[in-house]
Structure 1
Amino acid sequence: MPQYHQLGAVPHKRHTQFRKPDGGLYSEQLFSTEGFSNDYSLLYHVHPPTQIIKTGTPVEVQPQIAEEKMLRHRSFEGFNIQPAADYLASRVPVLVNNDVHISLAAPQQSLADYFYKNADADELLFVHQGSGTLHTQYGKLPFAFGDYLCIPRGTIYQIQFDGADNRLFIVESFSPIRFPKRYLSKYGQLLEHAPFCERDIRTPKDLGTHDTKGEFLIQTKKRGVLYPLHYGTHPFDVVGWDGCCYPYAFSIHDFEPITGRVHQPPPVHQTFEAHNFVVCSFVPRKYDYHPQAIPAPYNHSNIDSDEVLYYVDGDFMSRKNVTRGMITLHPAGIPHGPHPGAVEKSIGKEETGELAVMVDTFHPLMLTKQALEIENEGYTMSWAE
C-alpha cells in the first residue's frame, strides 16, 4: 500500500521520545510485512504491545487436502457453505496451494469475544453479502457489499457485522498483496491508465484509543495452527500512527472497466497482484463495439495458470446455470471457453451487468474436503453439445 497516511498523534521525528500527558513514554512499534526492507508503519501505543500474560492450547487449522492433482474443470456451489455463528469457525478453505488459500465464510455474529491475527498471510476479504465495520489498531473501516478489505499480515482485527446474513470470499496470500506494477509510477502513484485511483481507496478512520488493562485473547494463526495468546492490555491502545502499511478498503463498484472495439483479454480486469497469482474484477461494462465483434470470450488454453472465477451477481452470458456464489476452477493444461450456444447468443449484445472476482494462480491448486462437499457433479462435461 504505497500511499502515506497519518492518523492521530505522532512525534515530530521517528524513534524519538513521545510522552504521555503524565510524562511517561508511549511505546513505539514498527509494523512491516517484509522486515525492514519495504513499506512500513509506526504505531504509538499507550502500553507496550508485548505483554502476554497467558497462552492456551494450540489448535490445528491446516486445510485438509482431498485432491492434490487433477486435470478437469470443476464447479462448486459457494452458498452451500453452511453459516456458522463464530467468524473463524465459519471460514472454510476450498482451493489452496503454497502461495494462496481461497476460502468461503458465512459468519452470523460479529467477532467480539476475541481478536484475530493472521501471522502468515495478507488477507483480502471480498464482501458478497452484509455490511459492518472492520476494527483494527489503525482505526475503523466501514464496509458494505462489493468491498475488498485488504488486511496486511500481522494486523490484529475484529469484525462487527450489521446483521446475521453475511457472505465473504477470502483470499489469503503468503506474499504481500499489491496493486499491479504496470499501474504504478516509479514513485508508487497510480497512473492515468489504471482502472482506479487513490481517491477510490478508503483508509481507516477514528482510532478510538482503548487504554484498558485486563485479559484480551488474540487468536493468532501461524503455519496452519491457531494459538490462543492472552495479553494484559487492549490491542487497540494506539494514539497515533503513520506510514504506508495498513488495512484499506476498495469497492469493486469503483473499478472502471477497460473496453475496446474487440474483446479485451483478462489482464485488463486485474486489480491486485501477489507472488504467483493475480486477482481480477469483472464489473458491468459496455461490450466491444467493432461491427463484427463477438462479445463472448474466445476459447483459451490454460497452460501456465489455474483460473478461479467467483460469481457475485448479474448475468453471465458465457456460462450456463450460473448461481450467486458459484466457483469455477479451470485448471492449467486444458482449454476452456464459452458454453455451447453462448457465442452466437452474445452477438449484438451491447453491455453486461456481470459482477465477479477472478483469481489466477501460476502454480496448481489443490481441492479440500470441504470443496468436494459442495461440488457440482458433471460440470466437466457441460461443454458437450
Structure 2
Amino acid sequence: MAFYRAAGNIPPKRHTQHRRDDGELYYEELMGEEGFSSDSSLLYHRNIPSTVSASRVWDVPDQSTTPNHPLTPRHLKLHDLFDEAAVAATDVVTGRRLVLGNGDVRISYAVAARPSPWYRNAIGDECVYVERGAGRVETVFGAFDVSEGDYVIIPRATTHRWLPVDDPANPLRAYCIEANSHITPPKRYLSRFGQLLEHAPYCERDLRGPEGPLLAEDVGAAADEETEVYIKHRGHGPGGIVGTVHTLPFHPLDVVGWDGCLYPYVFDIRDFEPITGRVHQPPPVHQVFEGYNFVVCNFVPRKVDYHPLAIPVPYYHSNVDSDEIMFYVDGDYEARKGSGIGRGSISVHPGGHAHGPQPGATEGSIGVDYFDELAVMVDTFRPLELGEAGVAADDGVYALSWSRATGRPRGGAPGPGAAHSEG
C-alpha cells in the first residue's frame, strides 16, 4: 500500500552514492512489485544482495491436494494436527501443514515452539494470523513483536524468521495464508492515491511498521556469519511449488537503512471497527484484506442487527462464485451451534452448496443484540482442494449437521475413510 516510511541510514537522493565511514559504498537494492510499475522500497546493504556461496534443494512440506469430491461441506479440527511432541519440534516455516489450497492461495497451519530458519516466499505475499501465543518476527526491514490477534503481512521475497516466545502452555499457533499474488487492503477502502478512506474499518494509525533497521549485531550474531535462507518458489513440484536453500557468506540482517511504500506490517484484529446495521450485514462489510481471486474477512465482537424484527444470524446463502473458509478463533459462534464446531475449527462451505445456520440457530438468535465471536474467513473464487492436513483434520460428519434432530445425524455419515478417499 502507498504509505511511505523511512528507517535508518539512507542518502538524500535515490540511486546516488551512499558510503560507509570507511569510504566503501553500500549496495542499493530496489524491492518492487509488478516490475517497476507499483509499490517499492529501496534497501541499502552492507553486502552485495545477489551473493550466494552454495545452494541445495529444500523438500517443502507436502503441497499435494485432492479434490473435495463428491462436493460436501466439511469441518476441519486444526487443534488435532499437532500433539505436544510435534509442537516441540515444529517451527512456523518448515512445520506448516497444508490444509487447503488452489492455484491462487494456500492455507496452512503450524503450532510451533522452535525458531524458524531464515525464509523468503518468492511466490507471493503472506498473511499470517497469530491465533495464540507470542513471538518475534525479524526481517531485513526491522522486527515486530507479535501476539494473539495479530495479522502479519509479509511482502513477497522478504527475508525473515519467526522466533516464538518459550511458553509450553501457550505455544505459537499460526494460521498461514499464502498468496500467489500480493495482499492489500480492499481497493474500495483506498483513495486513488492509496490512502485509507473514512469509510474503511481501519486506518494507517492501526498499522505497525517494523522497528529498525535491524543488523546482525543487534541479534547477537556476527556480520560475517554464514547463514542459510530457505526459499519457496515456483517449479514442477506438487502445486507448482518447490524449495531451495541458499547459503550466504554473511548474515542476512545487513540493511542499514531503507525507504519506500513496500514493507511488512502488523494489524491487530482488535483494531478492526465492525460495520453494523438495522438488518443483517453481508460478509463484505467484514473484509480486511484481498489478494488475486480471494478475500480475507474477520468477524469480531460487535453489536448486531437492531431492527425490531431482525434475525441476527445469516440467512441461507449459496456460494455461487466462491468457497467460504471460516476459521473459528474465539467466542460463541451463534450460527454454528449444534454442529460440533468450536475453537480451532474450520468450516468449508464450497461453491455449489447452500449453507447457513444450523437447525434452531435462527430462532435462537432472535432478540440477541451482541455477538461475542472472533473468526477469520477466506473466500476464494476458484475451488479449494484439501491438503494432507485438511484430510487428516476432517471430522467426517459435518455435512449431516443440518439434518440432525437431537444432535445425532440421521443415517450414516461420510466417516474418516470416506473423507480420505474423497480428498
- TM range, normalised to the smaller chain? over 0.9
Match status 1:299 vs 2:321: no
Match status 1:173 vs 2:190: no
The residue that corresponds to 1:217 in the other structure is: 228
Paired residues of 1:33 and 1:154 also in contact (CA < 8 A): no
Classify 1:98/1:119 alpha carbon distance in 2 versus 1 (closer, same or farther; 3 Å): same
The residue that corresponds to 1:145 in the other structure is: 148
Alpha-carbon offset, residue 277 of structure 1: 0.4
Structure 1 residue identity aligned to 2:333: F
Q: Greater shift after overlay, 49-58 or 74-83?
A: 49-58
Match status 1:93 vs 2:104: no
Paired residues of 2:58 and 2:230 also in contact (CA < 8 A): no
The residue that corresponds to 2:341 in the other structure is: 322
Paired residues of 1:61 and 1:226 also in contact (CA < 8 A): no
The residue that corresponds to 2:417 in the other structure is: none
The residue that corresponds to 2:387 in the other structure is: 368
Separation in structure 1 between the aligned mates of residue 272 and residue 251 of structure 2, nearest angstrom? 36
Paired residues of 2:90 and 2:110 also in contact (CA < 8 A): no
Separation in structure 2 between the aligned mates of residue 115 and residue 369 of structure 1, nearest angstrom? 25
Classify 1:381/1:137 alpha carbon distance in 2 versus 1 (closer, same or farther; 3 Å): same
Match status 1:260 vs 2:284: no
Separation in structure 1 between the aligned mates of residue 341 and residue 74 of structure 2, nearest angstrom? 13
Paired residues of 2:61 and 2:94 also in contact (CA < 8 A): no
Structure-2-length-normalised TM-score: 0.88
Alpha-carbon offset, residue 350 of structure 1: 1.1
**What does residue range 71-82 of structure 1 map to in structure 2 within 5 Å?**
71-82=71-82
Separation in structure 2 between the aligned mates of residue 37 and residue 308 of structure 1, nearest angstrom? 33
Give the paired residue count: 383
Q: Greater shift after overlay, 279-288 or 219-228?
A: 219-228
Classify 1:70/1:3 alpha carbon distance in 2 versus 1 (closer, same or farther; 3 Å): farther
Alpha-carbon offset, residue 51 of structure 1: 1.4
Separation in structure 2 between the aligned mates of residue 94 and residue 60 of structure 1, nearest angstrom? 14
Structure 2 residue identity aligned to 1:127: V
Match status 1:207 vs 2:213: yes
Alpha-carbon offset, residue 370 of structure 1: 2.2
Q: Greater shift after overlay, 79-88 or 155-164?
A: 79-88
The residue that corresponds to 1:52 in the other structure is: 52
Structure 1 residue identity aligned to 2:130: V
Match status 1:198 vs 2:198: no
Separation in structure 1 between the aligned mates of residue 402 and residue 281 of structure 2, nearest angstrom? 23
Alpha-carbon offset, residue 58 of structure 1: 3.8
Separation in structure 1 between the aligned mates of residue 360 and residue 106 of structure 2, nearest angstrom? 34
Match status 1:271 vs 2:288: yes
What SS is found at the alignment partner of 1:239? strand
The residue that corresponds to 2:219 in the other structure is: none
Separation in structure 2 between the aligned mates of residue 185 and residue 219 of structure 1, nearest angstrom? 37
Match status 1:347 vs 2:327: no
Alpha-carbon offset, residue 68 of structure 1: 5.5
Alpha-carbon offset, residue 34 of structure 1: 2.1
Separation in structure 2 between the aligned mates of residue 69 and residue 9 of structure 1, nearest angstrom? 55
What SS is found at the alignment partner of 2:109? strand
Structure-1-length-normalised TM-score: 0.97
Deviations for 1:221-266, whole angstroms, at most 9, x for unmatched residues?
1122121110011111111000011100001110000000000000
Q: Greater shift after overlay, 248-257 or 70-79?
A: 70-79
Paired residues of 2:61 and 2:95 also in contact (CA < 8 A): no
Structure 2 residue identity aligned to 1:290: H
Alpha-carbon offset, residue 159 of structure 1: 1.1
Alpha-carbon offset, residue 188 of structure 1: 0.7
Structure 1 residue identity aligned to 2:63: P
What SS is found at the alignment partner of 1:65? coil
Match status 1:36 vs 2:53: no
Once superposed, which parts of structure 1, at least 4 consecutive aligned residues long, lie more than 3 Å away?
none
Alpha-carbon offset, residue 110 of structure 1: 1.8
Paired residues of 1:105 and 1:168 also in contact (CA < 8 A): yes
Alpha-carbon offset, residue 89 of structure 1: 3.4
What SS is found at the alignment partner of 2:188? helix
Alpha-carbon offset, residue 56 of structure 1: 2.0
Structure 1 residue identity aligned to 2:172: N
Separation in structure 1 between the aligned mates of residue 225 and residue 172 of structure 2, nearest angstrom? 31
Richer in strand (by share): 1
Separation in structure 2 between the aligned mates of residue 81 and residue 133 of structure 1, nearest angstrom? 23
The residue that corresponds to 1:123 in the other structure is: 126
Paired residues of 1:139 and 1:204 also in contact (CA < 8 A): yes
Paired residues of 1:99 and 1:175 also in contact (CA < 8 A): yes
Q: CA RMSD in A?
A: 1.3
**What does residue range 221-232 of structure 1 map to in structure 2 within 5 Å?**
221-223=232-234, 224-232=241-249
Paired residues of 1:61 and 1:225 also in contact (CA < 8 A): no
Separation in structure 2 between the aligned mates of residue 208 and residue 246 of structure 1, nearest angstrom? 14
Alpha-carbon offset, residue 104 of structure 1: 0.7
Match status 1:14 vs 2:14: yes
What SS is found at the alignment partner of 1:318? helix
Separation in structure 1 between the aligned mates of residue 32 and residue 214 of structure 2, nearest angstrom? 22
